[in-house]
Amino acid sequence: MLGTPCLLWLLAVTFSLGPRAQPLAPRDLEEEGDETSQPPLPVVPCDYDRCRHLQVPCLELQRAGPTACLCPGLSSPAQPPDPPRLGEVQVVAEAGRAVVRWCAPFSPVHQYWLLLSEGSGAPQKGPPLNSTVRRAELKGLKSGGTYVVCVVAANAAGESSVSGAGGEGGLDGAGGPVLGPCGRLAVPPRPLTLLHAAVGVGAALALLSCSALCWHFCLRDRWGCPRRAAARL
C-alpha cells in the first residue's frame, strides 16, 4: 500500500520534469545559434599562407571559395600595417643579386616595397609591389659589400615601421634570420676576386722563397756565415 503512492509520485516527477527538462538545452543552443549565423560554422582554415609568394588575400579566398573557411584576424584598416617578417635572403654573389622573401603581417596591406641601404648610407626605396607578392630580387649588389634590407608594408592609413633600418633593433649580432622587417645582407667576394687573392698570396710566397734562397747563396757568401768563419780559423 505504501509502494503505490511512491510509484505514482515518481511517475509524476518523471513526467513533469523529464519532458520539460529535455527540450530546454536544445532550445538554448538554437537561440544562441540564431544570434550569430544560421548554418553551423565549419572550423576549416582557408588555404592561406602568409609567407607564400603570389598569395591571394584571405578575404578574397573566403569570398570566392565554394565552402566557408576561416581567416586569421587582422589589425584595423584604420591603422598602418604591422611590419612584415623578413625571411630567407638568398645571395647570388657571382651575379650581384639577392632574392628576398618575407611573410605578410596580420594586417590589411595594399602594397610592399624594399628599402636597401649600404653600410651607413641612406636607404633606397624599391619599386612598389602588390599585396600578393612575398619575394623580390635585388640587383647590382657589390661583391664583398654589406647591406641592410627592410620590407615595408603600406595601406591607406600609412606604412609599417622599420625599427632595424639603422642596424639596430631588428638585427641580431650574427646577421642571421630575425623576426623583424630588416636583415643584414653580406655579399661574399666573387670567386674571381678570391682567385686574384690566391695568386697574390702565391706571388708573395714565391718572392719570400727567392729572397731566402738569394740570402742563402749570395749574401752569405759575401759576408760569410758564422760557421764557415769559424772553420777558416
Ligand X SMILES: *[C@@H]1O[C@H](CO)[C@@H](O)[C@H](O)[C@H]1NC(C)=O
CB of 132 to ligand X, least distance (A): 5
Q: Which is nearer to ligand X, 110 or 190 (CB)?
A: 110
Q: Which is nearer to ligand X, 54 or 230 (CB)?
A: 54
Q: Which of 79, 130, 209, 211 lies at the binding interface for ligand X (CB under 6 A)?
A: 130
Whether 63 contacts 79, CB under 8 Å: no
Binding mask 22-61 for ligand X (x = CB under 6 A): --------------------------------x-------
Of the pair 21, 54, the CB lying nearest ligand X is at 54
Please state the separation of Cα 66 from the chain's center in Å: 31
Least distance to ligand X, CB of residue 62, Å: 16
Instruction: Kindly state the cell numbers that stand for 76.
Output: 584595423
Closer of 103 and 133 to ligand X (Cβ): 133
133 binds ligand X (CB under 6 A): yes
- Distance, in Å, from the CA atom of 129 to the CA atom of 53, rounded to the nearest integer, reads 12
Q: How far apart are CA 130 and CA 116, in angstroms?
A: 18
What is the total count of residues that contact ligand X (CB under 6 A)? 4
Instruction: Pick the closest to residue 210 from 222, 199, 200, 202 (CA basis).
Output: 202
Q: Which residue is nearest to ligand X (CB)?
A: 130
Given the complex with ligand X, which of 121 and 128 has the nearer CB atom?
Answer: 128
Query: Smaller CB distance to ligand X: residue 22 or 130?
Result: 130
| Among 62, 132, 143, 146, interactor with ligand X by CB under 6 A | 132
Residues 158-217 within binding reach of ligand X (CB under 6 A): none
Which residues, numbered 53-112, are part of the site for ligand X (CB under 6 A)?
Answer: 54
Closest CB 88 distance from ligand X, rounded Å: 19
Contacts with ligand X by CB under 6 A lie at 54, 130, 132-133
